[in-house]
Structure 1
Amino acid sequence: MTERKKIAVLISGRGSNMASLISACMDPAYPAEITLVISNRPGAAGLERAAEFGIETATVDHTEFPRDREAFERVLNEKLKQHGIEFVALAGFMRLLSPWFVTQWRERLINIHPALLPSFKGLHTHERALEEGVKLHGATVHFVSAEMDDGPIIIQGAVPVLDGDTPDTLGARVLAVEHQIYPKALELVASGQAKVKDQRVAIAGEDADLADRALIVP
């Protein structure tokens, strides 16, 4: 069997998407394993959750570097290197990463965003989707670039926006989609099926018939 890629997950809170990745990695046939979880916030609930699965955890407290974001990232980067990490997955990591860090992990750093990028970058995506009256909303997994919520898109999942939706009801359906698409995206990246070409992601063996089918995940 091909050796599984070593993954680090960066979190700031409870690690909901981290848990979906951990579940996927429990399958021996999955091409990746999570060997490290790092939080920028001491006591983040996701750290305890990861430890329950026997995953090593660490904290790099960003408040110890109030005026030097790159110094924080250099400590973070050193921990990743010490553990032989090959890919990094952001899962609710509430820090903007500098061009320096993104360059170190170019095309090996992925993120999930609760909107159909390039729409609704930033925060409060569900509220903004409702305000704009869009008919479809969803989530996106992408390679990270130096710009916020930007970079080549790996996979997206969509849900219909229903009459009577609130940010909470819409957000709950989008979160369910996030839990489906993030493990799939990591699988594509870790297996080498997803490659960046001319700022777009090409998927090896992609079904040509997909272009004729609408994807709406209820």
Structure 2
Amino acid sequence: MPPVGSQQHPRAGISRLASGLPHSTHEFIIREGSRTVQTQPLPDFSRRPVRLGVLISGGGTTLANFREFIESGKLEAEIAVVVASRPDCKGVARAAEAGLPCVVHGRRQFDSVDSFSGAVFETLRRHDVDLVLLAGFLSLIQIPDDFACRVLNIHPSLIPAFCGRGWYGHHVHEGVLNRGARISGCTVHLADNEYDHGPIILQEAVPVLDEDTADTLAARVFEVECRAYPEAVRRYISGELARQGNRIVRKPDPA
């Protein structure tokens, strides 16, 4: 099924406000009939190529997928650094083979989420990262203020279904099958300091077949993840989106 993104809605009038926030676009007031909704600016990603920090805990297949999109010219970005939460994960070897800077911050080396998060984001700052991609990163992190709205995550279900604490990897697909759901998919969203909680950027659905196992469903979902995540990043860095409460919407045309 095609990606489900933000749709631009008819509106009676639009006015634009200058924003004093650093690294931001303009704010807009959208008037829809009698309702007035203010959109919030998202970070400015006008620098090209956009510098990505990719956080991994496993095989690095999403990392490899982004490399393919970047090298084919489909995404104006570069991978500035890979951060791994496990020294023995296959993604570390993938990064080394690709010649990408890779820093391992083993979660067990830190006594708290705060100290672990501090080390991770200090590495991202040191490598001048614009946008952070969680790519199978299984360790909880706390996002600091200077990275607010600059961390994206992909989840292998249609949020808000089958998400939150404990819902990851095959646990998700087994849950979908056990519940008898007829549709599943993936969700790319802004990450915040709650599991699978931030505003949704893009979703793509797949059917659940009668003969599916967790493995076959996972493979079908991963196939759409491979195009949905890069496309969500492309949209997010394009400057065409804005935040409206807990929604990501297309930025209105200037009046």
Give the TM-score taking structure 1 as reference length: 0.87
- Identical pairs, percent: 38
Contact 2:113 2:140 in 1 (8 A): no
* AA partner of residue 56 (structure 1): P
* Cα distance in 2, alignment partners of residues 104 and 137 from structure 1: 34
Higher helix share: 1
Report how far residue 119 of structure 1 moved.
0.4
The answer for the alignment partner of 1:31 in structure 2 is: 76
The answer for the alignment partner of 1:176 in structure 2 is: 223
* AA partner of residue 49 (structure 2): R
Unaligned runs of 5+ in 1: 206-218
The answer for the alignment partner of 1:165 in structure 2 is: 212
* AA partner of residue 161 (structure 2): S
Cα distance change on mapping 1:68 and 1:191 into 2, 3 Å = same
Question: Is residue 2:62 matched to residue 1:17?
Answer: yes
> Which has more radius of gyration?
2
Report how far residue 2 of structure 1 moved.
5.9
The answer for the alignment partner of 1:148 in structure 2 is: 195
The answer for the alignment partner of 1:214 in structure 2 is: none
Report how far residue 42 of structure 1 moved.
0.7
Report 1:190-205 matches (<5 A): 190-204=237-251
Unaligned runs of 5+ in 2: 1-45
Report how far residue 102 of structure 1 moved.
4.9
Report 1:1-218 matches (<5 A): 3-28=48-73, 30-65=75-110, 67-98=111-142, 101-121=143-163, 122-123=167-168, 124-204=171-251
Find the residue that maps to 2:236 and give its secondary structure.
Answer: helix
The answer for the alignment partner of 1:212 in structure 2 is: none
Q: RMSD over aligned Cα, in angstroms?
A: 1.9
* Cα distance in 1, alignment partners of residues 250 and 62 from structure 2: 22
Find the residue that maps to 2:194 and give its secondary structure.
Answer: coil
Is 148-157 or 50-59 further displaced after alignment?
Answer: 50-59
Contact 1:102 1:144 in 2 (8 A): no
Q: Which has the higher contact order (CA 8 A, sep 6+)?
A: 2
Find the residue that maps to 2:69 and give its secondary structure.
Answer: helix
Cα distance change on mapping 1:54 and 1:193 into 2, 3 Å = farther
Find the residue that maps to 1:141 and give its secondary structure.
Answer: strand
The answer for the alignment partner of 2:15 in structure 1 is: none
Report how far residue 58 of structure 1 moved.
0.9
The answer for the alignment partner of 1:216 in structure 2 is: none
* Cα distance in 1, alignment partners of residues 73 and 125 from structure 2: 24
Q: Render the CA deviation track for 1:111-138: whole Å, top value 9, x for unaligned.
A: 0000000100023111111111111101
* Cα distance in 1, alignment partners of residues 47 and 73 from structure 2: 11
Cα distance change on mapping 1:75 and 1:2 into 2, 3 Å = closer
Cα distance change on mapping 1:73 and 1:137 into 2, 3 Å = same
**Which 4+ residue blocks in structure 1 deviate beyond 4 angstroms?**
none
Give the TM-score taking structure 2 as reference length: 0.75
